[in-house]
Amino acid sequence: MFVGRFEHTLDPKGRLVLPATFRERLAAGGYVTQGIDGCLAVWTQDEFRREAQEMLEAAKANRIDRAALRSFSAGAAEVKPDAQGRIAIPQNLRTFAGLRKDVVVIGAISSIEIWDAERWETVNRAGEQALGATAAGAE
């Protein structure tokens, strides 16, 4: 599982140093895609295949729009960390996620998410409030 929060910066070429705890699982390579809520998702090869297969089956059964499957596939890029643990994030994906320089990399259990730092703060505040409300409701 991928867990944790890490603050990083993109270099001028759009490369991101992956947190050391994530590198081993991506050593053979993976995929970066458009994620939910305006982030990027980084998947291991196996998890990407699983996710793509689930989306394909959902599209065939009309549970999701085929356009979503096309965008997921067309926006995906293969990545493999270099010797310094960096992955290159294509410009179209950086634009999609609004990535400038400061980013937050989080473990999202089955994938890694890459967020623009400001956008992450907004999303995280909402998540913390939802957790607080859930905890209060459980009492």
What residue segments make up the domains of the chain, in order of their start? Answer: 5-138
Task: Give the predicted TM-score (pTM) of the model.
Answer: 0.90
Contact at 8 Å (CB) between 93 and 40? yes
Mean pLDDT of the 35-62 span: 94
Please report the pLDDT score of residue 136 as a whole number. Answer: 64
**CA proximity to 85, closest of 22, 41, 12:** 22
Those residues with Cβ within 8 angstroms of residue 34's Cβ, 6 or more apart along the chain or in another chain: 40, 41, 71, 72, 75, 93, 96, 97
Q: How confident is the model at residue 35 (pLDDT cuts 50, 70, 90)?
A: very high
Q: Angle of helix 45-60 relative to helix 66-74, nearest 10 degrees?
A: 160
Answer whether residue 138 shows pLDDT above 80. no
Q: Return the pLDDT at 29.
A: 96
Residue 14 has pLDDT above 90, yes or no: yes
Identify the pLDDT of residue 16: 97
**According to the model, what pLDDT value does residue 65 have?**
87
Q: Given this model, what pLDDT does residue 20 score?
A: 94
Indicate if the pLDDT at residue 25 is higher than 80: yes
* Residue 133 confidence (pLDDT): 76
The tokens describing 91, both together, are 């410009």
The SS3 of residue 88 is strand
- Give the residue, 4 or 72, on which the prediction is more confident: 4
CA–CA gap between residue 91 and residue 128 (Å, rounded)? 31
Structure tokens at 63: 């549970």
Residue 114, pLDDT score: 98
Mention every residue, 6+ apart, whose C-beta is less than 8 A from residue 7.
102, 103, 104, 105, 117
Q: Could you report the per-residue pLDDT of 84-133, keeping only the tens digit for each? A: 999 999 999 999 999 999 999 999 999 999 999 999 999 999 999 898 87
Output the CATH code of domain 5-138: 3.40.1550.20
